[in-house]
Structure 1
Amino acid sequence: MSELIIDSIEKYGLHITTQRKNKPLFSKIGVVGAGKEGRNIINLTASAGMDVVFMEESNERIEYVMGQLSKNMDTRIENWGLTQSEKRAILNRITPTLHYDDFKGCDLVIECTRYSETGRRSIPLRKNIFKKLEEVLEPDAIIATNGFTVIISELAAELIHKERCVSLYFPVSHPDARILEIVTGMYTSEEVCKKMEIFAKLIGYIPHRVNENNGNVSLRLMVPMLNEACEILLERVSSMKSIEETFTIIYGQRYGIFRLSDIIGIERLVVLMETMFNDYGDKKYKPNPILWKLYRSHQLGVRTRKGFYIYDEMERPIAENILF
C-alpha cells in the first residue's frame, strides 16, 4: 500500500493571506539563542500554547537544549506541576532550527544570545541578528532583545522598521517573579508596547513599561542593597547567615540578597554595575570589593557552582563560601 502524502494547503491560492490576517496574535514565537534565559522563554511561551521556533548554532546545542527542556519538565512532573501528556503537548509546540528562514511567520522573535564568561554580550553580533531577522520577518512582526544592560535604540538604529523593536527583561530569580519589564527605546511605537502588554498577560506575567536605561527598575533597586550587604559583611558587622535572614524574614523576600546574586550571576552583576556607575556617576552602583574578588576568581554563582555559596549538581546551596 502506497504511503499517504499529506500536503499543506497554506501555500495555495488566497488561503495564506486569509490565514495570516485572521490568525491569533502571538501564535508563533521565535527565540534566537537558548541559554538559561532563552530556555526559560521557550518554556513559558510553549506552556502558554504558543508555537515556538528556537535557533541554535549547532545540532549538538539543539540536542542539549531539548534535553534540558525535557529535564526541567520532568522536575515539574515530579512536583505535581505538570502531567506527562501536558509535557508531550508542550514539546510538540517547540521546533529547533539552524536557519533564520524558519522564523518566517513569527509575530515576535526574541534575541537571547548567551553571555560570555566575562558577563558581556556582543553588540555587533546582536545588531547583525536584528538585521537578519528583519530580512525574513513581516514588517509588523516585533523584534525584541532580552536583557537589562543593552539600550534597545542602539540595536534598532540601523533597521528599516525601527519602531518594531523593544527590549524585555524576564526576572529568573524564582517562578513567582512574574513581572515582565517592557523597555521602550527612542523608536519603539505605542502599538508595539500595547502588543507586548498583551503578550505578557498571555504568559501570565504583569507588564511594566520602562523607559530605556541601564538596569531597568528591578536591578537598579537591587544593586544598592547588594553593595550595602557586601559592605556590612566586609566590615564584619554581621554574618552572611544573619544578613540573609534579615533580608528574607524582615522584608519578606524569597531569597537572601547573596543567594539572589548567585542566581542572577556575579559576572552579569559586576558588568552591569560598572556600566551603571559609568552612566550615572553614583558610587552606590560601583561593585563592592567582594564582588570583584568573586568575579576575578571565576566564582560566579550557581552556574559555576561557587559564588557566595557552594552548590551541588542540582544547583542547591550546600555551604557558605569562605570569602575572607
Structure 2
Amino acid sequence: MADIQSVAVIGAGTMGSGIAHVFARSGFPVSLCDVEQRFLDRALASIRTNLSREAAKGKLAEAEIEPTLTRISTTIDRESLATAQLAVEAAPERFELKAEVFAALDRILPPTAILATNTSSISITKMAALTRRPSQVIGMHFFNPVPVMALVEVVRGMTTSEATFAAVRDLSVKLGKTPVEVNDAPGFVSNRVLMPLINEAAFAVMEGVAKPEAVDQVFKLGMAHPMGPLTLADFIGIDVCVDILRVLQEGFGDPKYRPCPLLVRMVDAGWLGRKSGRGFYSYEK
C-alpha cells in the first residue's frame, strides 16, 4: 500500500479539529469537512490557539504556526474529498451518524483509500460491513486533547487487512504518536476499562458514599491518577460517557455496564461537563 500523502478529516468538533491539527503539524495537507462553515471556522480558531500554546511552551517554532494552518483546507462539500488517500471520520459517537458518513465516504473516495473511524467504542467490523472495502476499514482512536496525548488505539476489525493495519500504524508514528494494536470489541481496551470506573464513581456519589471531590481525591492521592474519574468524565463529556456505556451494555449484553442513573439525569439536565459549563463540577466563567 502506497504511503499516505493526502488526508481528509470529517467532523470539526473537539476530536476532529485535534486530529486535523496533528496531521497538519506533521506536514500533511488536510481537508477538514463538516456540515456548516461556522463549525469549521470555530475549529480553525481552536487550532490556531492550540498551536500558539505549543509555541509558547517551546514545542513548536513560532514561524511554523502559519504554514501549519495553511495545510488545512476546509469544506462543507464531501464530494471535494475525492482525492484523499485516508479519511478519518470523527462524527459524534452514534452509530447512525457514523454509518451515514461512512456510506458517503465509501462512494466518494478512490477504491484504494483507507477509511478510518475515530470511534471510541463502536464496532469496526460493523462499520466495515457498510462499505465495499471492508479490508481497508480500521479504527484510529485518538485521545483528547489530541495534540497532547501520545496514544492511538489502532483497532483491527475482523476484515481489516495487514496492509491497512501497517499503513495506519506507520502513519501514527509519523504523527508523533504511539500506536497500540487492539482487536475489535466493544469499547476496545481504553473504554472497556475506563467507563466502568467512571460509572462506579458516579454510583458512589449517587448513593451518598462520598462527594465528587472526595472520590477524585482518593484516585489522585491513592492511585496516583493525574485527575480523578469524575473530573475526567466532565472533560470527556457526560453524554459521551453515557453513549459509550450503552454501547458496552448492548455489545456485551451485560447489565454491569448500565449507565448510572445519575449520569443519565445529568445528560437530561444538560449538565454535560466542561463543554456545557456544568457537570460534576461548575465551569462557569
**TM-score (norm. length: structure 1):** 0.80
Do the aligned partners of residues 279 and 127 (structure 1) sit closer, same or farther apart at CA in structure 2, a change above 3 Å counting? closer
Greater Rg over alpha carbons, structure:
1
Q: Look up the match of 2:48.
A: 70
Q: 1:161 aligns with which of 133, 146, 151?
A: 133
User: Counterparts in 2 of 1:254-269, with a 5 A limit?
Assistant: 254-269=226-241
Deviations 1:121-175 (A, max 9, x none): 252x433432332334332210111112322222222422221111221111576
Match of 2:255 in 1: 283
- Can you list the C-alpha shifts for 1:251-287, whole angstroms capped at 9, x where unaligned? 2222111011011111111122123123323333112
- Kept after mapping to 1: 8 A contact 2:118/2:140: yes
Mean Cα displacement is larger for which, 238-247 or 302-311?
A: 238-247
- Counterpart selection for 2:278 from 306, 309, 312: 306
* Distance in 2 between residues matched to 1:145 and 1:32, nearest whole Å: 10
Distance 1:161 1:237, change over 3 A: closer
CA contact (8 A) 2:150 2:176 kept: yes
With 198-207 and 80-89 compared, the bigger mean Cα shift is at 80-89
Counterpart amino acid of 2:87?
Answer: V
Distance in 2 between the 1:267 and 1:181 partners? 22
Unaligned runs of 5+ in 1: 1-20, 314-324
Pair 1:216 & 2:188 matched: yes
Aligned pair in 2 of structure 1 residues 187, 177: CA closer, same or farther (>3 Å)?
Answer: same
Supply the RMSD in Å over aligned alpha carbons. Answer: 2.2
Q: Larger % of helix: which?
A: 2
Q: Structure 1 residues 100, 274: closer, same or farther in 2, change over 3 A?
A: closer
Q: How does 1:218-233 map to 2 (within 5 A)?
A: 218-233=190-205
Amino acid at match of 1:153: T
Q: TM-score, normalised by structure 2?
A: 0.90
Q: Does the C-alpha gap of structure 1 residues 127 and 292 become closer, same or farther in structure 2, counting only changes over 3 Å?
A: closer
Question: Larger deviation: 210-219 or 237-246?
Answer: 237-246
Aligned equivalent of 1:179 = 151
- Structure-2 separation of matches of 1:287 and 1:135: 36
Once the two structures are TM-superposed, the CA of residue 246 in structure 1 deviates from its matched residue by 1.9
Q: Secondary structure at the match of 2:116?
A: strand
User: For 2:219 and 2:145, how far apart are their aligned partners in 1?
Assistant: 15
CA contact (8 A) 2:18 2:146 kept: no
Question: Which residue of 1 is the match for residue 172 of structure 2?
Answer: 200
Residue of structure 2 in register with 1:294 after alignment: 266
The separation in 1 between residues aligned to 2:14 and 2:146, in whole angstroms, is: 13
CA distance in 2, matches of 1:191, 1:150: 22
What does residue 145 of structure 1 align with?
Answer: 117
The AA in structure 2 aligned to 1:94 is I
Structure 2 partner of 1:102 = 80
- 1:116-131 equivalence runs, <5 A: 120-121=93-94, 123=96, 125-131=97-103
Contact 1:173 1:263 in 2 (8 A): no
Deviates more, 1:135-144 or 1:161-170: 135-144
Alpha-carbon spacing, 1:282–1:101, altered in 2? closer, same or farther (3 Å): closer
Distance in 2 (CA, whole Å) between partners of 1:190 and 1:54 is 27
Q: Is the 1:230–1:288 Cα contact (8 Å) retained in structure 2? A: yes
Amino acid at match of 1:212: D
List per-residue Cα deviations over 1:55-91 (Å, max 9, x = no partner): 1223333322222221222333344433331111110
Structure 2 segments unaligned to the other structure (5+ residues):
none
> What displacement does 1:35 show?
0.8
Q: Is the 1:227–1:284 Cα contact (8 Å) retained in structure 2?
A: no
% identical equivalent positions: 27
Match of 2:32 in 1: 54
Q: In 2 relative to 1, CA 227–173 (structure 1 residues): closer, same or farther, beyond 3 Å?
A: farther
Give the ranges of 4+ consecutive aligned residues of structure 1 lying more than 4 Å apart after TM superposition: 173-176
The farther-off stretch of 101-110 and 36-45 is: 101-110
Q: Look up the match of 1:237.
A: 209
Measure how far apart 1:209 and its partner are. Answer: 1.8
Q: CA deviation at 1:237?
A: 3.2
The structure with higher relative contact order (CA 8 Å, sep 6+) is: 2
